[in-house]
Amino acid sequence: MTKTYVHFFRIFFLFCLCSFSLRSFSQTDSLDKLMTRRPLTCWEVEYNCKYLIPEYYANGKLDSVNILLNYWQKKCRWNNNEIIERARLLLSIQMGTFKEENLKPAVFHQLTDYNRNKVSYKVNRYYNYRYYYRQSTEDSLFDAFINIMAKKLKTKQLSPAEQLLSRLYSDSAIVHIDTMIRNKKFDGTYLQKIYKHYKDSILHQPCMEAGLYTGYFNPLGNNKILGNKGIIGVFAGSKSRGNTFDFVLDVKPGSSKGKYNVMYKDSLTATDTCNFFYIGAEYSRALVTTQKSEFYFAFGFGGERLASIHSNDTKKIDGKHFWSPNVSGGLGFKYYYDYRHYFGLQANFNYLNFKNKGGTDITGNAFTIRLIWGVSSNFEKQNFFKYLY
């Protein structure tokens, strides 16, 4: 009898367990059916628009294309704006609604991005530009579609601005527009006006600069005895609107022309050691500039150290050195051989005042010449010169 009850309870327990599991599964299944609402993501909108827009365009439904572009931009406000604006500009030209005065300087930033992405395709650097273009079938097809739109426009009677945009967006190679937009047919146009404004804003952006220089140091007056020296130096700083601020370091190693006397440990000591070290801050202002060159005035202030006896820990020699202010002023010239790098030549007069108490008089000033190599740019300026200018 006991075995019968045990068997009965086992069967009852299994039945309850199965019923609960089936019921739970049934509830989960019914909940899944309720999950019909979901947010429409930007990627889904973009994916569908890239197929729908060419289809509507092929059927001549340009108003619908315009609606889809507006919808796409609204849903993807912070993503892929360049490709939407490209399609919108070409569509407005085709529909006859393009107005040059509605353009903003930002259009040239978009053109820079467009040209840069042409290069990214060729060298296959998709990762770096994944926020502009993602390597996929729909991307390639939609780019090809916009390219065809632009080529069709070239057969129509267009204004200078419309011709420029249709050429840029139909050419698979990088098109540099600076020479084009300075053509006489653009004189007085709104496009030329905003391009000049955009170009000036790029050129006047603050940028970092750094470089190396070598040169010649020629003492004047009583310090001629210290002898002429070669110069090796470095500089780093920033440049904005023709004003340049640099921190400068240089050394002028060598020996003096003849021995000179210094007071060392309360006795007069003759030495021919003469090594200079300069640290300072310098400012320059562009006076005349062209597209590839710059003539400027320079002013600097710092300290000049003259080591006359070197220290030696092994021989327990402390060393002897002098400090002098170094106030300089001069003129210079830079030639930019590309959009970032330049060679320069600078001539300075340097006010020095070394005081050698009890020793040889080494007061006097100096004249220096520098041969400079430098680099000056920022990311946005670099892109402008490389992909648009």
pLDDT tens per residue, range 112-134: 888 877 765 544 433 344 444 44
CB neighbour list of residue 195: distance below 8 Å, 6 or more residues apart? 105, 108, 177, 181
| CA distance to 24, 105, 235, per residue, from 192 (Å) | 70, 10, 37
How far apart (Å, rounded) are the C-alpha atoms in residues 66 and 69?
A: 5
pLDDT tens per residue, range 131-164: 444 445 667 788 889 989 999 888 888 999 998 8
CB atoms within 10 A of CB 240: 11
Which pLDDT score is estimated for 183?
A: 84
Q: Are 129 and 116 in contact (CB under 8 A)?
A: yes
Which of 94-103, 146-155, 184-193, 311-320 has the least mean pLDDT?
Answer: 311-320
Q: Which DSSP string corresponds to 79-137?
A: SSHHHHHHHHHHHHHHHT---GGG--THHHHHHHHHHHHHHHHHHT-TGGGTTT---SH
As a CATH number, domain 207-382 is 2.40.160.20
Within the chain, which residue ranges are assigned CATH 2.40.160.20? 207-382
Q: Is 384 helix (H, G, I), strand (E, B) or coil?
A: helix
How far apart (Å, rounded) are the C-alpha atoms in residues 231 and 253?
A: 8
Place of tokens 């609204």: 74
Q: Would the pLDDT of 9 be above 60?
A: no
How far apart (Å, rounded) are the C-alpha atoms in residues 75 and 91?
A: 20
How far apart (Å, rounded) are the C-alpha atoms in residues 335 and 333?
A: 7
Q: Which of 165-169, 337-341, 362-366 has the highest mean pLDDT?
A: 362-366
Provide the Cα torsion 23, 28, 33, 34; round to 10°.
110
What's the whole-model pTM score? 0.67
Q: Are 278 and 303 in contact (CB under 8 A)?
A: yes
Q: Give the percent of the chain with pLDDT over 70.
A: 82
